[in-house]
A and B are shown apart, each in its own frame.
Chain A
Amino acid sequence: MTEPYATVPLRPAYDLAHPAVEITGLHKNFGSKRAVDNLIMTVPAGCMFGFVGPNGAGKTTTLSMITGLLRPDYGTVRVLGHDVWQNPAAAKALMGVLPDGLRLFDRLSGLEMLQLSGELHGLSSDLASQRGTELLGALGLLADANTIVADYSAGMTKKIGLACALVHNPKLLILDEPFEAVDPVSGQVIREILKQFVAANGTVIMSSHVMELVETLCDVVGVISEGHLLAAGPLELVRAGKSLQDRFVELVGGRELNGEGLSWLGNS
C-alpha cells in the first residue's frame, strides 16, 4: 500500500524556489536489481530532513548518488543549484558528508584526519587545525586527538567522521546513520550541533532506522522503499496523525506473523 509523492504536499513555508537538493528521475540498477527507480525528490533549504526506509530500500544508494560517490544510470541531482554530476567540484564544496561503510584514513590521528579533511576542502592548514581541535573538544575526543583512528572504537570513529563533515562549515550536511554506535551523551551533543547548524540556515539530510529519533529531530521526512519514494514532506503531514513508526509500517507494508508461522519456535 503506497501513496504517491504528490499526495503529501510540502509545507509552503520552506523556500522551494532555492531547494538544497533537487533530484529528478534518478535511476540506479545493480545488475538486474533496481536499487533506485525514477526517484523525484526535493529537499528544502534550512530543514532537518529525515530519510527513512527499510533495509535495502535504496537510502544509501540515493545518498551516494547525491554526494558523488556513485554514478547514477540516469537522472540529475542538483545541490544548492549545482549539478553534482556536471559540476562536481562546485557541488561538493558546499557539502559535508558522513558516508556509511566507507573507511577513513585510519592511520592518521583524529586531529590529522580533521586537518586533512579541512585542507582537502580548501582550508589553510592552520585554520583546519584550529577548527579540528575545537570539534574534537566538542565531541569529547580531545584526549584522543593524537591517537590513530584505527585504534578508535566504532562510536569514536563515527564522531570523527561527523567532525570531518563539519570542519569546512558546509551549507548542506548529508549524514548516513549519524547516531549509529554513538553513546547517549555524545548523541545529545550531536543533536545540539545539528540543531545549531539548521538554525544558522544550514540543511541536514540524515538517514536512520530509528523512527523515534527522526520524529524528535527532523521537521521534514522522506520515506523510500524498493527504490521508490513513498511519501515526502513536513513530518506532521507525512505521519498523518499517527506515530512515525506506525505510519512508516503502514507505508512500506508491514508483515505480520499469522498464527501458523514459526509455531515451532520456543516449543522445543
Chain B
Amino acid sequence: MVRKLVKLQLMLQWRALRSSTAVLVISIIFSLGVIGGVVRAAFWVAGLAMVTPDVRSVITVAVFGALTFCWPVSVIFLTGSNEILDPGRFALYPVNAHKLLPGLLAAGFFGLGGLAMTIGWVGYAAAWFSSGALVFSAAMVGYALGFVCCVLSGRAISALLVRLLAKRKARDMAMLGLMLFVIVASLVFQLLFTPDSADELGIGLDIGAIVNWVSGIAGIVRWTPFGWPWAIPGELAQGHWAVATALFVATVILLTCWALLWQREIVRGLVSPLESGGSGERVKSSGLFDRFFPAGVAGAVAKRSIRYWRRDPRRLMGLLSGLLVPVITSVTVLVANSSAELTADDLVLNVISSYLPIMLALMAATITMWDISYDGSALGTQIIAGVSGLQDRQGRAWAALMILAPIQVLYLLGMFIYSGAWEQLPNVLGLVAAVLLGGVGIGSWAGSYWQTGQRPVGQLTLGKSSNASVMAFLGAFVGLLAPLLIVIPTVVFVVLSFNNPWASWVALVVGAATGALLLYFGIVFGGRHLDATWPEVLERVTWKG
C-alpha cells in the first residue's frame, strides 16, 4: 500500500506539472531557486560546527523550531490539504485508516518540502558531527523525529481543517480569519521588533541585537512542542541527560498524538466523505446601492462584480492582502515617528509619509487583472448573453474604482492630516491618479490576455494549485512593474517641483492625463481582445482541478 500510494501521488503530481510547458518550466525554475536557497542554508547550518554547542543549539532550535511551526501553516496556505490523496477518495474501497496512514505519511515526504528537509539534514549532520558519537546520534534521531513531526502535523492539521471547513460559511470565515491573523501578526511583529537600538526603519541593525533576538526566540521555542526534537543534541552536549531524555520522550508522545489525531481524521474521512454543506445564507439587495451604477449592461457587470468583492472570500482576501503592505508601512512610520521632538530627519519622514498612499494605488493593476479569472466558468453567463468586451471591461473597471477610490481618498487624507505636508498634495494626487487610473487601465488590458483557472470558492481547500500560484506570482510581478513605468512622466515633474513649486501642478495634470489615457485605452483594447477571444478566455478561466 505504501508503494502504491507514493507512486500514485508522484504520478498525479507529475501530470499536474506537465499540464502546460510554461507551468513546468516555471515550476522547475522555482524549485531550483528553492533548492539553491536550501543548499546555501544547509552550508550555513553546517558552518555552525565552528561555534560552541550552546550557541549552535540556540540557533538550530530557533531555525528548525520556526520551520516546524511554519510547515503545517504552509501546507494549508500553499498547497491546500493533500487533495490528491484525500482519505475521502478511498471511502468506497475496503481499506482502513491503519492501512492508509503509513502510505499517506510516506507520500508526504515526497515533494519540494521533503527534498529541502533532506538537504537540511546533511547540514545539520555536519554541524553536530564533531560533537562526539552520542550527541551526533542524538542529533540524527532528533532530526528524524522533527522531520516526521513536520509532515505528520501538516497532514493532521490539514485533514482536521478540511473536515471543520466542510461548511461553506465556516470555510469563508476561516479564510478571512487566517488572513486577518496574518495581518495582525505582521503588525504585532512590526510593533514588537521595530529596532529601537537601530537607527531608522531597520537600517543599520546591529548583530548583537539580532543574536539577542534569536536567543530570545530560541529560549521560548525550546520549551514548545516545535522545539523539542531540535533541542535534544544541545542539552546532551551540555551534559543535561535528564532534560534530553525528557525532550526525547515528549517528542515521541507528540508524534503519537499527531498520528492518532490524523488517524481519527482518516477514519472519519473514510466513513463520511466530505460534502459541501450550505448554510442557507440570505442576502438582500439594496436599491440605494444599485443607484451608484449606470443603467445598462456595463452597469450590470459592475454591480455583479462589486457584490463579489464583498461576498467572495478570495477577492476579499486579495483586497485585504493588498492593504497589508500600505497599512504595515504606515503603522511602522507612525510608530517610528512618534517621538516628542521633531528633528530634521522626522520632517523628511513626514514628507515621505505623505507619498505612502501611492502604495495603495499600486494594487489597482493586479486587482483588475485577476478579476475575470475569479469568475471561473460562470463567465459563460456573460458570453451567452452576448456581453461585449467593452461592456465587460467598463463594468469591471467601474467596480474596481468604486472600491479602491474611496479607500484611497481616506488613506490620502489621513496621511496628509498626519504629515501636514500639504504642499506635496498636487504631486501625490498626480502620482496616485496615474497609478490608480493607469493601473486599472493596464489591468483591464492585461486581464483580457492573461487568465488562469482559480479554484472555485466552494471547493475544499484553502491553497492554490501550483499552476495558479505560478501565474499569480508572474501576475504580481507585472502588476507591480507596470505602474512603475506609468509614473515616469509624472515623476519627472515631481522631482522638478522640489526646486520649482509650479511643477507640482504640472505633475498633477500629467498624472491625471496619463492615468485617464491609460484607463481609456486599456478598456478599449482589452475589450476588443475579449471580443475576439471569448471562448478561449472561458476555457482558460474554467477550473479543471
Give the B-binding residues of A (Cβ under 8 A). Answer: 67-71, 88-89, 91-93, 95, 97, 99, 101-109, 111-112, 115-117, 119-122, 124-125, 146-148, 150-152, 164
CB distance from B147 to the nearest CB of A (A): 40
**Contact at A148–B311, with CB atoms within 8 Å?**
yes
**Contact at A103–B290, with CB atoms within 8 Å?**
no
**Contact at B299–A119, with CB atoms within 8 Å?**
yes
**Contact at A147–B280, with CB atoms within 8 Å?**
yes
Chain A hits for B383, CB < 8 A: 68-69
**Contact at A71–B535, with CB atoms within 8 Å?**
yes
Chain B hits for A124, CB < 8 A: 295
29 pairs, A vs B, C-beta closer than 8 Å: A68-B386, A68-B534, A70-B539, A71-B536, A88-B534, A91-B386, A92-B385, A101-B377, A102-B377, A103-B378, A103-B456, A104-B381, A105-B304, A105-B308, A105-B381, A106-B378, A107-B307, A108-B304, A109-B285, A112-B283, A112-B304, A120-B381, A122-B296, A124-B295, A146-B284, A150-B168, A151-B278, A151-B281, A164-B381
Chain A hits for B534, CB < 8 A: 68, 88
Within 8 A of A (CB), among B441-496: 456-458
Chain B hits for A102, CB < 8 A: 377-378, 380-381, 542
**Contact at B458–A109, with CB atoms within 8 Å?**
no
**Contact at A103–B297, with CB atoms within 8 Å?**
no
**Contact at A122–B381, with CB atoms within 8 Å?**
no
Chain A hits for B456, CB < 8 A: 103
Chain B hits for A70, CB < 8 A: 535, 539
| A148/B297 contact (C-beta < 8 A), A69-B538, A107-B457 known | no
Q: Which of the four size classes fits the interface of chain B?
A: 35 or more
**Contact at A120–B382, with CB atoms within 8 Å?**
yes
**Contact at B285–A120, with CB atoms within 8 Å?**
no
Is B303 in contact with chain A by the CB < 8 A criterion? yes
CB distance from B15 to the nearest CB of A (A): 15
Interface centre among A91, A107, A115, A116 (most CB of B within 10 A): A107
CB distance from A230 to the nearest CB of B (A): 27
**Contact at B297–A119, with CB atoms within 8 Å?**
yes
Chain B hits for A103, CB < 8 A: 376-378, 380, 456
Chain B hits for A125, CB < 8 A: 290, 295, 300
Report the nearest B residue to A89, measured CB to CB. Answer: B386
Chain A hits for B308, CB < 8 A: 105, 107
Contacting A116 at CB < 8 Å: which of B280, B381, B536, B538? Answer: B381
CB distance from A221 to the nearest CB of B (A): 24
**Contact at A152–B385, with CB atoms within 8 Å?**
no
**Contact at B378–A109, with CB atoms within 8 Å?**
no
Chain B hits for A107, CB < 8 A: 307-308, 311-312, 457
**Contact at B377–A151, with CB atoms within 8 Å?**
no
Extra 6 A-B pairs, beta carbons < 8 Å, given A92-B384, A108-B307: A69-B384, A92-B385, A93-B386, A97-B384, A103-B376, A107-B307
CA–CA, A125 and B303, complex, Å: 11
**Contact at B285–A112, with CB atoms within 8 Å?**
yes
- Top 6 nearest A-B pairs (CB, nearest first) are A92-B386, A151-B278, A119-B300, A120-B385, A102-B380, A107-B311
**Contact at A104–B384, with CB atoms within 8 Å?**
no
Contacting B387 at CB < 8 Å: which of A105, A106, A120, A146? Answer: A120
CB distance from A170 to the nearest CB of B (A): 10
Is B99 in contact with chain A by the CB < 8 A criterion? no
Chain A hits for B168, CB < 8 A: 150-151
**Contact at B283–A109, with CB atoms within 8 Å?**
yes
Interface centre among A68, A91, A111 (most CB of B within 10 A): A68
CA–CA, A107 and B307, complex, Å: 8
Chain A hits for B384, CB < 8 A: 67-69, 92, 95, 97, 99
Interface centre among A120, A122, A150 (most CB of B within 10 A): A120
| A69/B304 contact (C-beta < 8 A), A117-B385, A120-B387, A148-B281 known | no
Is B98 in contact with chain A by the CB < 8 A criterion? no
